Copies of this chain bind each other. A is one copy, B any other.
Amino acid sequence: MRAELVFTGSELLLGHVTNTHGVYLGQELAKLGIEVILQTTVGDDWELMERVIRGALERADLVITTGGLGPTTDDITKEVVAAVLGVPMVTHEESLERIRHHFARRGAEMPAICARQARFPEGALVLPNDKGTAPGALIEREGRIIVILPGPPRELRAMFEASVRPYLLQIPGRGEVLRTKVLRLTGIPEYAVQDRLRGLGVAGHPSGNPGLGYLTRPGEVQLRVSARASDPVRAERMVEELAGKITAVVGDYVFAVDDEVPEKVIGDLLTSQGRTIAVAESCTAGMVAARFTEVPGSSRYFLGGVVAYSNELKKKLLGVPEEVLAEYGAVSEQTALAMAQGIRRITGADFGLAITGIAGPEGGTPVKPVGLVYVALTGAHDTVCHRLLLPGVRAAVRIGTVNVAFKLLKGFLTNRGQPRQTLSRLPEAAGIENLTYN
């Protein structure tokens, strides 16, 4: 089954907003086994929009339009679709009533102009909009399907999930379904991941079957594993098989899979253990604390911390001895350990996490280059320090450090009391190394 997407809105042509519909609909349709063959973005121009929709209906089995359902005369999508199909516009009384009601609740009368939002091409199935006033529509016509969705992403997604996906799921012969899994790696540059996977014989083309795509973000390399099959179970098995092979080679660098939120996982671990944590941050300067507290209710286990950006504060607030700083420097195993023990002592938390490193662009030396970071973890029974060499520029080093710190913390909380696995160190300037077990 082949689909075309038609995005309407002059703001998209002017570059005022990023089009996120292509990613959402592309992924959702692929999951259903529907192939998107063309996306077109057109402004509020009747003639051009008509030509685009007419062309799409000639090529595709399914045409999805977005936007242009507002009450003003700029909003012409439904009217253009009606013209292409050669059917009149008619009022959908139930929708009209709902829009009137929407205004009445606010003590206002419906502006006459808003009645347009209740008009649809004759024969359309009206799709309710739970998040806004503009309903959508679905029209079947000579074996083709046209779906008309609103422009705001929140409204579009809710309508797709509530009405469009269930409808499409009932259509037989859609084609092969796509399944994906995203492995999120940190602490290793993209080229090093590729080097290691080459040994696997994984071709690594995003549109292969199974497919493998790379996406680099600051402090992170994402591997998207995908597979297509007529049977979803088979597609899932293909994904798991390739993901398993990849994990065997670079699993040490995986800090999250799919939509997993590391700070949430750690919060759940701490909650189930009834323990608390506090953090001492130098180069990440509050980023770990900010991430912890993105989770509602994190005050149950997260006490707070110290941002010891200057050496003075490392001494004053965390009690790092002057001699340690003088002898080993602020970016050292010894300082990281003293910071972790200091934050645990002064806050009374069960666990202390400390980070000190060189984010750059300045401050690096041959012995202590930009990207060198120490992460120390301490609890009642054991203390450990990891030495990292993170790739990339300042932002990448900082975000990468946060990702690695959460990964290490998760391991620390999960394997307490067990012998610790030493992570391998990359030959090049990237990797994670365990330094200290007390």
Contact = CB atoms under 8 A, between A and B. Distances in A.
Given A293-B309, A307-B289, A13 B39 contact: yes
A348 B309 contact: no
Contacts of A289: 281, 285-286, 307, 309
**Helix, strand, loop or mixed for chain A's interface?**
mixed
A274 interface: no
Interface of A: 10-20, 22-28, 30, 35-45, 48, 52, 59, 74, 178, 205-207, 213, 215, 224, 278-279, 281, 283-290, 292-294, 296-299, 302-310, 312-313, 316-317, 346-348, 359-362, 394-395, 398
Contacts of A14: 26-27, 30, 36, 178, 206-207
Contacts of A17: 23, 215
A303 B292 contact: no
Given A19-B19, A44-B207, A285-B304, 10 more contacts: A16-B27, A17-B215, A40-B41, A285-B289, A286-B288, A289-B309, A293-B309, A294-B394, A303-B312, A304-B313
Contacts of A298: 309
Contact of A27 (B15, B206, B281, B302): B15
B313 A347 contact: yes
Contacts of A361: 296
Contact of A15 (B30, B287, B316, B360): B30
Nearest to A283: B293
Contacts of A23: 15-18
